[in-house]
Structure 1
Amino acid sequence: MGIKKILVVDDSPTDRYLLADILGRNGFEVDTAGNGKEAIEKIRLNRPQLVLMDVVMPGKNGFQITRLITRDPVMKDIPVMICSIKDQETDRIWALSQGACEYIVKPVNGQELLSKIAAIG
């Protein structure tokens, strides 16, 4: 099938822009959200094929939103890749235990991101 439609969730406008730019230049349809509440609304409305989720955000963090997505009967089939500055093995393990399918560390290497997306889709 291949992933074409991605939602980037990050409270940093700069990170949202950088990720959307990498993805857009490589043929992906990209939407963005600045927090978890907005992300849930956009997921329900637009049904992305992948969610690229930051961890540290105001309100509910990315781990909490990932858990919500992956345990919701309507959204659970949408894969979530965590994209975070947090680079500890415990963060990776916790992300996967919350339902994330993959984990990538910022600053993001474009080729690594594309490779991980290709492996998911």
Structure 2
Amino acid sequence: MSIVLILENCLLYQHLLVEILEQNGFTCLTCQEVDDALNKIAYIRPDLIILEPLISDCRGLDFMSLLKRQPMMRYIPILLITAASHSTVKPLLDMQGGTVLYCSKPYDPNKVVPLAQKLIGPHQ
């Protein structure tokens, strides 16, 4: 069973993601703040992180950069689900290679599970 950490400050999107993913066999951990996510990752290594990079005054971008600099965390794949434009997140996608995918808000719930499976698949 894959563990997904969801870092999303909008409770509506957070609950929707949990519902979709848990119905498809994923275990979900949720956070609304970067510090909470960092604390959880210190104890539980998720198989995937779903991240709104504009969370908490753009600290989501710092969070992502921090993860990619840590040897034990740099290979955790990330799914960016954000209202930011593709041109805003494209530099992040290019920098991180194939371990990061992007989905824009509002998103089609039917696309989340295949994206999660695509990211987790080669890393398990």
CA RMSD, Structure 1 to Structure 2 (Å): 1.7
Structure 2 counterparts to residues 14-93 of structure 1, below 5 A: 14-86=12-84, 88-93=85-90
Q: How many residues align?
A: 118
Structure 2 unaligned spans of 5+: none
Is the helix fraction higher in 1 or 2? 2
Which stretch shows the higher mean deviation, 111-120 or 15-24? 111-120
Kindly state the Cα deviation for residue 97 of structure 1 after the two structures are TM-superposed. 4.0
Structure 1 unaligned spans of 5+: none
What is the TM-score of this pair, normalised by structure 1? Answer: 0.87
Kindly state the Cα deviation for residue 90 of structure 1 after the two structures are TM-superposed. 1.5
State the identity %.
Answer: 23
Aligned to 1:10: 8
- Alpha-carbon contact 1:44-1:75 (below 8 Å) kept: no
Which runs of at least 4 in structure 1 moved beyond 3 Å after TM superposition?
none
Aligned to 2:92: 95
What whole-Å deviation, never above 9, does each CA across 1:65-85 have from its counterpart, x for those lacking one? 111111111211211111101
- Alpha-carbon contact 1:95-1:103 (below 8 Å) kept: no
